[in-house]
Chains A and B, each alone.
Chain A
């Protein structure tokens, strides 16, 4: 079945460092891909999405490109801030032919940014 694999955390960076969180997927068909962010004790917020190959999603300085040839959707940010400390989830739509809207999530990657 469809699945998502994220790099293990925690990831610890200094403020203004470059961030990459790797995400690879296994899927049949052409899923959409998402990055969500979860701050402590809160629900998930959509960070960005891409719905087809070579699409780039971007928001708040974060970017990710849908790479079908490498089945990847890595999250990047050029200069992280302390306020970016959170758990980041990669997800893909898992509809197949059922049209459920179901999402498959990776296990999450914790990012800690130090001043």
Chain B
């Protein structure tokens, strides 16, 4: 079955630690995205990548970093510089960029930092 996997589903970290969230897709999609979801709010774009070895900042990139070394993988690191990291993180992919292409989402990782 093709799809997007995110692991782990729940993640707990102490304040001051960096943490990396995994996102893998086997849909052969070129574009990948990371969103953050907070209670009662819509999704906000953190980073996106249109092609391997290239990525761009989204609306709320401060305190986050990404890499895109392989087409199928787009890990997100939440650094200690992120002031309010506790949230639900969603990874998505799209066959191509452009306004007509829908995005497909993974199941999400809920990060709790104490």
A residues in contact (CB < 8 Å) with B:
4, 30-32, 34, 36, 41-46, 49, 51, 89, 91, 93, 95, 99-108
Interface size on B, residues (CB 8 A): 30
Q: Does B19 contact A (CB under 8 A)?
A: no
Is B64 part of the contact surface with A, judged by Cβ < 8 Å?
no
Give the distance in Å from the alpha carbon of A30 to the alpha carbon of B100 in the complex. 10
In the complex, which residue of chain B has the Cβ closest to the Cβ of A102? Answer: B45
Q: How far is the CB of B67 from chain A (nearest CB, A)?
A: 18
9 extra interface residue pairs, beta carbon distance < 8 Å, beyond A89-B42, A99-B97, A99-B98? A31-B99, A43-B90, A46-B103, A93-B98, A93-B99, A101-B50, A101-B96, A102-B48, A108-B40
CB-defined interface of B4-43 with A at 8 Å, one 1/0 digit per residue?
1010000000000000000000000001010000001111
Query: Is A101 touching B108 in the complex (CB atoms < 8 A)?
Result: no
Tell whether, in the assembled complex, residue A42 and residue B48 are in contact, meaning their CB atoms are under 8 Å apart.
no
- A31, A44, A107: residue with the most chain B Cβ atoms closer than 10 Å: A44
Residues on the A chain within 8 Å of B97, using CB:
95, 99-101
Tell yes or no: B105 within 8 A of A by CB. yes
B108 — nearest CB in chain A belongs to which residue?
Answer: A43
B66-105 interface bits toward A, Cβ cutoff 8 Å, 1 = contact, 0 = none: 0000000000000000000000001010101111111111
B106 sits at the interface (CB 8 A): yes
Contact between A106 and B96, CB atoms less than 8 A apart: no
Residues of A within 8 A of B107 (CB): 42-43
Q: Is B58 an interface residue (CB 8 A)?
A: yes
Q: What are 6 inter-chain pairs, A to B, with CB distance below 8 A? A: A42-B108, A43-B6, A44-B90, A46-B103, A100-B56, A101-B48
Indicate if the CB atoms of A101 and B31 lie closer than 8 Å: yes
* Residues on B with beta carbons closer than 8 Å to the beta carbon of A46: 102-104
Cβ-closest chain B residue relative to A49 = B102
Q: How far is the CA of A41 from the CA of B92 in the complex (A)?
A: 16
Most buried by B among A42, A43, A91: A43
- Given contacts A32-B100, A93-B99, whether A43 and B48 have CB atoms under 8 Å apart is no
Among A36, A101, A105, A106, which residue has its beta carbon within 8 angstroms of that of B98? A101
